[in-house]
Amino acid sequence: MKSYIMDKDEGGTIYSGTPSQIIDQITTNSKLAFKNREDLRRTYASFACDWTGKPIRFHADKDLVDDLIDCGVLKEQK
């Protein structure tokens, strides 16, 4: 199973599993309050877009995680 570290995460938290499991882990580790899962995805997509200048999809867990990996916000740990 691949694991990833979030580039902008101060604690260097490692995330692994399916896209849904990664979103669950991000939710658990976040210090921000979210109304629901869609709110979390939308907020993280907005942050990532601001950080990278690239569009980030957020309508599904897989889209968000794939785009976070593609733009370098989530980096695979070797």
Q: Is the pLDDT of residue 10 over 70?
A: no
Distance CA 4, CA 2 (A): 7
- How far CA 38 is from CA of 5, 46, 75, 77, in Å, comes to 22, 12, 23, 27
- State the total domains in the chain: 1
At 3, which amino acid appears?
Answer: S
Q: Is the pLDDT of residue 8 over 80?
A: no
The pLDDT, as a whole number, for residue 30 is: 83
Q: Tell me the H-state helices in 1-78.
A: 19-29, 37-52, 61-70
Q: How sure is the predictor about 23, in pLDDT bands with cuts at 50, 70 and 90?
A: very high
Structural domain boundaries, residue 61: 3-77
